[in-house]
Amino acid sequence: MKKAMWIISFIALAGTAIVLQFMPDQVPMHYDNVGNIDRWGSKYENLIFPVIILAMSLFWTLFIKYYEKKALREIDGKESAGASSNAKVLGIVGLCMAAMFTVMQGFILYGAYTEAVSGATTWSFDIGKVSVILMGIIFIILGNFMTKTRINSTVGVRVSWSMYNDNTWRKCNRFGAFAIMIAGVVTIIMAVLLKNSFGAAMASVGAVILASAVTLIYAHKVYVQEIESKKGGKTSDRVC
């Protein structure tokens, strides 16, 4: 996963460097809320985003290596397996983020080129809506892998209730995965239906907040049930 993540990240940088050779010196760099171009700048400013993508890949690589080393250090087989599983999930997260931002960079470059060549005064397409749709896809993909994590402080539903034991972690992350996947579907639908990218982004934020709130409520319920079941077991032992 790390190798694929870095390849995609370098594709963003190399692809941008190639495309810039065919761009006019001045290209659109910013738009107002309704899509009017309100700032033009040097085409080389488009190199900033690929550098950020590389920095993010470095960030995820360090996280992944931490869990890989932990998996090798742990004597306990369960702890080692958990760390290894978390490293794999983080690799998927990093890969998805690199792919998402690389696709975004492609759209940004296409828009900048077509608008600069045609002398446009408004955007050729709403890059904000594109980013919201991509984020919705990321939510769906990551939801599919949340259930594969073990208890950790980096990825998954990380609250004291869910981290109480393996059972609460498994149940809470399964529910949280389902909730974030629904939020992803809602995000994509809203981005398609709503005309304004800001409205689509706010709808996405609302869906994520609702998914998080419902997951927290469920996590507390599972935690309470787990505590009560343990108390019930102790009471039965005393009676026997």
Give the helix, strand, coil percentages of the chain, each rounded to 5: 75, 5, 20
In the predicted model, is pLDDT for residue 190 greater than 80?
Answer: yes
- Which is higher by pLDDT, 124 or 171? 171
Closest CA to 49 of 91, 107, 2, 95: 107
> Domain boundaries in the chain?
1-124, 126-240
What contacts 149, CB < 8 A, 6 or more positions away? Answer: 85, 86, 89, 155, 156, 173
Give the global pTM.
0.80
- Which is higher by pLDDT, 192 or 154? 192
Buried-exposed string 165-199: b where 16+ CB fall within 10 A, e elsewhere: eeebbbbbbebbbbbbbbbbebbbebbeebeebeb
Share of the chain above pLDDT 70, in %: 96
* Cα distance between residue 117 and residue 105, in whole Å: 18
In the predicted model, is pLDDT for residue 202 greater than 70?
Answer: yes
In the predicted model, is pLDDT for residue 240 greater than 50?
Answer: no
**Which pLDDT belongs to residue 239?**
47
Please compute the mean of the pLDDT values over residues 178-191 and round it to a whole number.
95
Return the amino acid letter for 196: N
In the predicted model, is pLDDT for residue 231 greater than 50?
Answer: yes
As beta bridge partners, residue 194 has none
**Which pLDDT belongs to residue 156?**
83
User: What's the whole-number average pLDDT of the chain?
Assistant: 89
- Which is higher by pLDDT, 234 or 211? 211
In this predicted model, what pLDDT tens digit does every residue of 66-87 receive, in sequence order? 888 888 887 777 778 778 888 8
* Cα distance between residue 222 and residue 216, in whole Å: 10
**Which pLDDT belongs to residue 147?**
83
In this predicted model, what pLDDT tens digit does every residue of 127-138 receive, in sequence order? 888 999 999 999
